[in-house]
Amino acid sequence: MARRTVLIVEDSQSVAMTCKLQLEPLGHTLLMAETGQEALRLLGDQPVDCMLLDLKLPDMDGLDILRDVRARAAPPSTVVITANASLTMAIEAVRLGAFDYLVKPFAAARLTTTVTNALANTELKREVETFRRTVEHDGFGDFIGRSIPMQRVYRTIEAAARSSASVFITGESGTGKELAAQALHRLSPRAGKRFVALNCGAIPRDLLESTIFGHIKGAFTGATADQEGAAMRADGGTLFLDELGEMEMGLQTKLLRFIQTGQYERVGEGRTRPADIRFVAATNRDPAEAVRQGRLREDLFYRLYVVPLELPPLRDRGEDILLIARRFLTDFAQQENKAFTGFSPEAEVLLLGYGWPGNVRQLQNVVRNAVVLNDGAVLNETMLPTLAAAAPVPVRVQEMPADTQIRRLADVERAYIEHAIRVCDGNILVAARKLGISASTIYRKKEGWAAE
């Protein structure tokens, strides 16, 4: 299991130390609180995954803490610690939503097992919660879509956001890499500080260093005043470096040093400054390939590739295409003062069948163009000419056998598949690709024919 945070709320120092020593081997982050107020403060400061709670605290009733925690988003599973005489209270706590209770005295193995189960329970509850929320709202943060590949993306974002580990996002252009980086920032304990995004491919090479680190007056021609860089603005927050593979190697070395030491130098300045930054990097191509080609430093790559996050291309997201298209249609219709309320079924078929090489950004442009250039309540297929031109040609009636005899569909299918395999010189893989089915489907069908 990944590193999790466990909060121990216990007013007896020796009992708290017992829990701490027994849980340390699990490798989780342990937080200690002696009072209810302290516990609530710690719960507000950072995400907590499991809470060990003594019900009798000096300043407040443990049950009140339990109620408070349950009302929070993504609450930790709580294990109540009790001395045997107050078992009735422990049972009351479970009724109020505590995950389990431990009766003092307990063995180390009992404690670690209970905490591990509680952590698994938290994980599962959060997974279900993400699922429920995305289905309810058709999306997550600024993402629209509830397809299975996107559910995975949302879960990774939620899990990674709580830590300060670097995240490396990959995905074709237009898949929403910056949205993902923003979501990571907004869900993190750094949300109160700034999110700074830089596109390394869009900034002129000789300006990139001073854009990231800043410069002092006179550092180079045109540097007429001191200038703070992205590093300073993102201090305490998140720095998103898009198209990292476009950064020249010398600067990659400086960036690596910055990540390793948490210190950087403004251009032209002789002293280092500290910055506490969470790094999120992205490339639209395979970063491992960039490393092989020598465009991305291997050590920098591994430093940043702690949590990989791959965004699926739009064509793999099924019905998400329609959810997104409808949202764009509503938004653009409102902006442009048009009456569009939806797509025709034929237009939806076109949207679903298209390959979307430019992903969501392309879908956005296609819908915007259609809205701007046309009028009406329904956006139909004739208003999407680029998609219609790319659509596969439907089988024409002339290609059908001229006779009037109707054959069994299964026979026609078998004949046509065998025909395709012959045309492809017996190569089933090629035939399957051209037929738009998987090779295993052909093998399965062949088995069926052999059995007939």
Residues lying near another protein in the complex (CB under 8 A) are found at 11-15, 17-18, 21-22, 54, 56, 58, 83-86, 104-108
61 forms beta bridges with: 56
DSSP labels, 391-424: SPPPPPGGGS-SSSPPPPHHHHHHHHHHHHHHHT
For 340-371, the DSSP string reads --EE-HHHHHHHHHS--TTHHHHHHHHHHHHH
Kindly provide the residue ranges of all beta strands, DSSP E only, lying in 139-203, ordered along the sequence: 139-140, 143-144, 167-170, 195-199
Contacts 24+ apart (CB under 8 A), 83-87: 86/55, 86/56
DSSP state letter for 57: -
Tell me how long the chain is.
Answer: 452
User: What is the radius of gyration, based on Cα positions, of the chain?
Assistant: 29
3-state class (DSSP) for residue 216: coil
Quote the least distance from Cβ 14 to another protein, whole Å.
Answer: 4
Task: Name, in order, each residue with C-beta under 8 angstroms of 423's C-beta and a sequence gap of 6 or more.
Answer: 431
Q: Phi/psi at 296 (nearest 5 deg)?
A: -135, 125
Amino acid residing at 384: L
Query: Quick check: 242 and 198 in contact, CB under 8 A?
Result: yes
Least gap, CB of 301 to another protein (angstroms)? 41
Distance of CA 32 to the CA centre of its chain: 31
Residue 274 Cα distances to 211, 252, 257, 263, 342, angstroms: 17, 18, 12, 4, 52
Least Cβ distance, residue 108 to another protein (angstroms): 7
Dihedral pair phi/psi, residue 31, rounded to 5°? -115, 145
Q: Are 229 and 211 in contact (CB under 8 A)?
A: yes
What is the DSSP secondary-structure string of 24-41? GGG--EEEEESSHHHHHH
Alpha-carbon gap, residue 185 to 47, rounded angstroms: 14
Q: Which is nearer to another protein, 12 or 334 (CB)?
A: 12
- Spatial contact of 191 and 235, defined as CB atoms under 8 Å apart: no
Q: How far is CA 288 from CA 162, 296, 308, 386, 399, in A?
A: 26, 8, 12, 34, 47
One-letter identity of residue 75: P
State the DSSP code for 86.
G
